[in-house]
Structure 1
Amino acid sequence: MSQQKLSSHRKRNKSLGLLELIAIALGGMVGGGIFTILGVSVAMVGNITPVAIITGGILAAMAAYSYVKLGLYYKDEGATYAFFKRTYPKSPFSASVIGWFVIFGYISTLALYAYTFSSYAISSTDFADNIWIRKGIAIAVIGVFTGINLWSVNGMGKLEDIMVYTKLVILTIISVVLINSGDTSFGTFLSNMAQDAESAKVMDVLIVASITFVAYEGFQLVINAVNEMSNPQKNIPRAIYSAITLAIIIYVIIAIGALFAIPTKDIIENKEFALAAGAGDVLGSLGSNIVIAGALLATSSAISGTVFGSSRQLAAIAEDGFFPKLLAKRKNKVPQNATIGMAAVACVLILIGGLQLILEFGSVTFLLVSLLMAFANFKIRKETKSSSFLTISAITGLIVGGVLILYYELTNNWKQMAAIIALYLLLAAGAYFYAKKHKKQIDDTN
């Protein structure tokens, strides 16, 4: 998403063009998402996973419509939080709750990427199934990138550039090699898809599409650079929709490559590191190592970028009084307390939850935040010149997606659903407390 007031903390010595903006969005989206969702999706809908991924991408594009319209109207690098605060200026609770949901959505994705990193890091070792070693490595990698962010912003930026472009090359290589190396012909693959389509329910596909929504989180980062881009009126929509389209293509190609080359049962059995486990059998140790390298680079760049961006967002919200003021403090322009605080909470989430809980909490959170953006856009649709039909369609799709995830949890793991609801109640309580505190401070000032 973004960092309100970040303009005072950045040098603007160049304009970002369309290609750079697409790279920013892809860097945020193509993180650990595909490595995380592939096994979960195949376990639920088998060979029609590409259809579910495309459906999730369409849902993301629908959600992006309101971000684009609000971004063009407000031109505020504060993005999600700033949009909602400015659309509902007389409601401190609205601003507070969106801030809390956005931040904890980022925390969940940070935990998700770190968990995926650790799963792939030990996938070829004897510790692959040891959950506590996996969690320990996940916490350690968050610590490493937190330290890098605290140590040097310039160093982090250079490292991020290297990781983003390298991972895209490796992901492309992985896809091509898997498709060419698989024993499955295209005709057989289509036949398998048809068989799975007959047995799968439409609701299952929609549930998977909703769960995998988190893999498209990141397109909002384009708006974060509104003050540093050339021709935002044209480049914001072009960059966001192009990036979502490219992400869909990348995810689908990787999924097809995996389904061509790796037996479905292997993907399901090793769903937390499905690509690495299967690629080793098909491509040998070299192929497995390439997949692992791609996963580690993808998740590393996502962890680094999430720590950097979301900590500044947290500091900005804290400056407005909706989080403890301690989190707003900066040293050498770096929000140290916010960075450390977010990393610590992500580590707690890793300790108390598994991959499925983190994945679903992240997807529900970003569905909810996107829904709130759609409501905000609908409220001022005349000012943003938005289509009522498209905005209402997005609202409907996002509501259905959120309900389907909760339905899936209720019917398959009600305790996990209870944990998700409990987390939201805690977030709402925290948002309410700071909203009241913020209002009292304003009243006392007046």
Structure 2
Amino acid sequence: MTQHRKRNKSLGLAELIAIALGGMVGGGIFTILGISVALIGNLTPIAIIVGGMIAALAAYSYVKLGLYYKDEGATYSFFKRTYPGSDFSASAIGWFIIFGYISTLALYAYTFSAYAISSTEFAENIWVRKGIAMAVIGLFTLINVWSVNGMGKIEDLMVYTKLVVLTIISVVLINHGTTDFGTFIGNMAIDLEGSSFYSILIVASLTFVAYEGFQLVINAVNEMTNPDKNIPRAIYSAIVLAVLIYEVISMGALFAIPTEEIIKNKEFALAAGAESILGKLGANLVILGAILATSSAISGTLFGSSRQMAVIAKDGFFPHILSIRKNNSPQNAIITMAIISCLLILIGGLQLILEFGSVTFLLVSLLMGIANYKIREKTKSSTFLTLLSIFGLGIGGIMILYYELTNNWEQMLAIIVLYILLAMGAWIFSKKKQNSGSKPVAFRTYEAELEL
């Protein structure tokens, strides 16, 4: 008789919120701050709230599908199970979402290195920055390969420490800033006259990648306690906390740092501004916050997305070797994602990485909304909220494409070429699977997943 053992349920609500916040409050806020201020100035806090609303709309369908399917394959598995008839569409969404995660890994690591060396003589040395970025990815690859429980505890420590540090930084900046609240509101009114609501929507859409990460909670469904309660609690709590953190950070920066300084030093604006106001200690505190934020983002993204990659590989849409696990850890997938993200760091630019990530996650979130609408009775979803999420995410995608077309068509072309290459890879593996005669993986209940 075959012996079965239950999987170790080592991740509780605190760890799950930490994973989601680790994926969201990372390189995103430190990178988008300069870009947002350059486009809409003091209206940045408004764009952050709008971006959080778009993220909440996206999360609605993820939560409903996650509770219904309880599959660690998350985005990919939800789409595959809702539309089981097309190998290519399943393969394509798998390739898009995984490379979206890879782009965010590169973004977080790049931001880590920018802040880590911002106060040194190597601050402007691009190759030193890239070398440190690849090294930090290597470090957290080892941590994720080493232990799931160890990763969870380290993630807790980094995430909750960085929240305290970032809050202190923001409060200190506000108190030491040259701008009072009345002046700030006046500046917002001036910027509002020179901008349109469309500009705010464009920035909210461009910075959507700063909210990417909440779906990583679902990737840990096989390693969490009480998923029916903890999935929605962790995801919605993390989004609310992320909005609050981003608001405080952006207002602290705008109160204390001249907008031209934020725009000029966009890759490490907070550190540069804090040093000019608070001296070396202030700069070091910002650097510590940035390092903690990006470190936890790298760790959380590696943890969740590697499990999704293993599920996709098990279905035949990535090389089979990526589906192999040791002690329930997809070590080959973790290492592969780390290597590809390092290659992206070597060849890519920060702006391209950021915008590719935002477009990708808006696209796949829109597809999740459409999938949830199809089975809304099974997932017990509100028709109104599901349609509202589809509309909001669709508008966000259109805003990014409009911005790219009118401001940087060369970069838009580069993103399109990336999508074509990914689609070709997805097509090759879907054809390979069809030619091999592989059958779709049978649906398994969550209870069956609890045993090995």
- Please give the range of the TM-score, normalised by the shorter of the 2 chains: over 0.9
Name the structure 2 match of 1:16.
12
- Deviation of 1:118 after TM superposition, in Å, equals 0.9
Name the structure 2 match of 1:129.
124
Query: Contact (CA 8 Å) 1:9, 1:333: kept in 2 or not?
Result: no
Deviations 1:135-181 (A, max 9, x none): 22212221222233334445434332221121111111111111111
Name the structure 1 match of 2:184.
189
**How many residues in Structure 1 have an aligned counterpart in Structure 2?**
437
Give unmatched runs, 5+ long, in structure 1.
1-6
Deviations 1:32-68 (A, max 9, x none): 2211111111111100000000110000011111111
Aligned runs of 1:18-33 on 2, under 5 Å?
19-33=14-28
Match of 2:369 among 370, 374, 381: 374
- The two structures have a TM-score, normalised by structure 2, of 0.91
Name the structure 1 match of 2:257.
262
Provide the rounded CA distance (Å) in 2 between the counterparts of 1:251 and 1:381.
32
- Deviation of 1:309 after TM superposition, in Å, equals 2.2
Q: Kindly provide the amino acid, as one letter, of the partner of residue 286 in structure 1.
A: L
Name the structure 1 match of 2:424.
429
Provide the rounded CA distance (Å) in 1 between the counterparts of 2:161 and 2:5.
31
Deviations 1:302-358 (A, max 9, x none): 112222222222122111101011222334544333222211211121122211111
Match of 1:174 among 169, 178, 198: 169
- Deviation of 1:232 after TM superposition, in Å, equals 4.0
Match of 1:349 among 344, 349, 352: 344
Provide the rounded CA distance (Å) in 2 between the counterparts of 1:332 and 1:390.
40
Match of 1:74 among 66, 69, 87: 69
Query: Contact (CA 8 Å) 1:371, 1:395: kept in 2 or not?
Result: yes
- Deviation of 1:87 after TM superposition, in Å, equals 0.6
Deviations 1:113-144 (A, max 9, x none): 00100111111122222222222221222122
Deviations 1:218-266 (A, max 9, x none): 1112323445555544443333222211211110011001100111110
Q: Kindly provide the amino acid, as one letter, of the partner of residue 127 in structure 1.
A: F
CA RMSD of aligned residues (A): 2.1
Match of 1:245 among 223, 230, 240: 240
Name the structure 1 match of 2:450.
none
Query: Contact (CA 8 Å) 2:169, 2:286: kept in 1 or not?
Result: yes
Query: Contact (CA 8 Å) 2:309, 2:323: kept in 1 or not?
Result: yes
- Could you tell which deviates more after superposition, 232-241 or 68-77? 232-241
Q: Assess, with a 3 A threshold, how the Cα gap between structure 1 residues 324 and 285 changes in structure 2: closer, same or farther.
A: same
Name the structure 1 match of 2:446.
none
Alignment partner of 1:321 is 2:292: no
Provide the rounded CA distance (Å) in 2 between the counterparts of 1:286 and 1:238.
37
Provide the rounded CA distance (Å) in 1 between the counterparts of 2:239 and 2:166.
16
Match of 1:93 among 75, 88, 97: 88
Name the structure 2 match of 1:406.
401
Provide the rounded CA distance (Å) in 2 between the counterparts of 1:295 and 1:15.
25
Provide the rounded CA distance (Å) in 2 between the counterparts of 1:255 and 1:421.
31
Q: Kindly provide the amino acid, as one letter, of the partner of residue 377 in structure 2.
A: K
Q: Assess, with a 3 A threshold, how the Cα gap between structure 1 residues 145 and 125 changes in structure 2: closer, same or farther.
A: same
Alignment partner of 1:305 is 2:305: no
Query: Contact (CA 8 Å) 1:212, 1:363: kept in 2 or not?
Result: yes
Match of 2:202 among 204, 207, 215: 207
Deviations 1:63-113 (A, max 9, x none): 111111112222323321211111112221222112111111110110000
Q: Assess, with a 3 A threshold, how the Cα gap between structure 1 residues 171 and 46 changes in structure 2: closer, same or farther.
A: same
Using the aligned pairs only, state the percent identity. Answer: 73
Alignment partner of 1:296 is 2:286: no
